[in-house]
């Protein structure tokens, strides 16, 4: 059968494994990010990851490792600035994003293999190596277990940090852990769906989940289901229609979100 042909190639098998794993962990992070009103943090960190990728290529280390290091530094910077100027917390994201874009622009000028660097802009999930797949698997397990273990604490913190602190939750420690998890998730996702659209993968499934979910837990579950479906459909379409996988996955998600909103409005009128 032609539909089974896609799984006969090792690179597509890796693409599905990596894509589904990321589709599971990204909405977990994304739900908390959206509730904390930090939706643009994905853009800030993904652009900063480009600087890490360029640095990795320049000094001869794995670009994903470079992206992880730079994303962690940027995420901690956002959290630090956000605490220093709480009334203008969104400025922290804009400041770090500007610094990340500027640094990426400067460092990319020194990269000799520009084709390799450019592949990170829109991702290349079908070009994932075995080593990179193992990194994604390891990171996904760590992120998922951490999210499950800190599920209740992250929920309280995302709603009201002051109340969470009064309830005895170690807000600073939880925020630190979540910041690291967010940075790592975005940095490895930038390799697959692309640094320029990774934030869409973080926000769109959550937006779909919020249309149907009636609680925090339901929103996380629906968001994850939607992300997995978008990834599977996007990979099939990209393979058989010869499209870019990352962009296709995001567009499937955006179209689905518009359909959900439209159907809800129609049902609300009836």
Instruction: For 243-262, give the DSSP string.
Output: --HHHHHHHHHHHHHHHHHH
Token pair of 109 as six digits: 């000028």
What value does the mean pLDDT take over residues 8-22? 88
pLDDT of residue 158: 86
Cα 206 to Cα 204: distance, rounded to the nearest angstrom = 5
Mapped onto helix, strand or coil, the DSSP state of residue 117 is helix
Q: What is this structure's pTM? A: 0.87
Higher-scoring residue by pLDDT: 252, 123:
252
Question: In the 8-state DSSP scheme, what is residue 111?
Answer: -
pLDDT in tens, 48-63: 888 888 888 888 888 8
Considering just the CA atoms, what is the radius of gyration of the chain in Å? Answer: 19
All domains of the chain in start order, with CATH: 2-263 (1.10.3470.10)
| 193 — pLDDT class (breaks 50, 70, 90) | confident
Token pair of 137 as six digits: 């698997």
């Amino acid at each position: 059968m032609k539909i089974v042909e896609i799984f006969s190639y090792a690179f597509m098998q890796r693409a599905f494994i990596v894509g589904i794993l990321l589709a599971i962990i990204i909405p977990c992070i994304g739900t908390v990010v959206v509730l904390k009103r930090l939706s643009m943090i994905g853009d800030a960190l993904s652009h900063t990851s480009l600087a890490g990728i360029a640095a990795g290529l320049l000094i001869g280390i794995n670009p994903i490792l470079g992206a992880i290091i730079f994303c962690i530094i940027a995420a901690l910077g956002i959290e630090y600035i956000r605490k220093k100027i709480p009334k203008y917390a969104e400025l922290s994201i804009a400041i770090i994003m500007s610094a990340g874009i500027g640094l990426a622009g400067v460092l990319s000028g020194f990269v000799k293999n520009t084709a390799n660097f450019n592949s990170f802009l829109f991702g290349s999930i079908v070009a994932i190596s075995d080593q990179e797949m193992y990194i994604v698997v390891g990171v996904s397990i760590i992120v998922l277990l951490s999210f499950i273990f800190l599920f209740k604490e992250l929920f309280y913190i995302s709603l009201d940090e002051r109340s969470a602190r009064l309830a005895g939750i170690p807000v600073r420690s939880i925020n630190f852990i979540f910041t690291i998890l967010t940075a790592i998730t975005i940095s490895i996702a930038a390799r697959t769906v692309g640094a320029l659209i990774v934030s869409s993968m973080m926000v769109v499934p959550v937006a779909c989940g919020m249309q149907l979910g009636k609680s925090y837990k339901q929103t996380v579950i629906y968001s994850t289901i939607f992300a997995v479906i978008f990834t599977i459909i996007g990979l099939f379409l990209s393979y058989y229609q010869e499209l870019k996988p990352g962009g296709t996955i995001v567009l499937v998600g955006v179209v689905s979100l518009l359909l959900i909103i439209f159907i809800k409005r129609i049902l609300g009128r009836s």
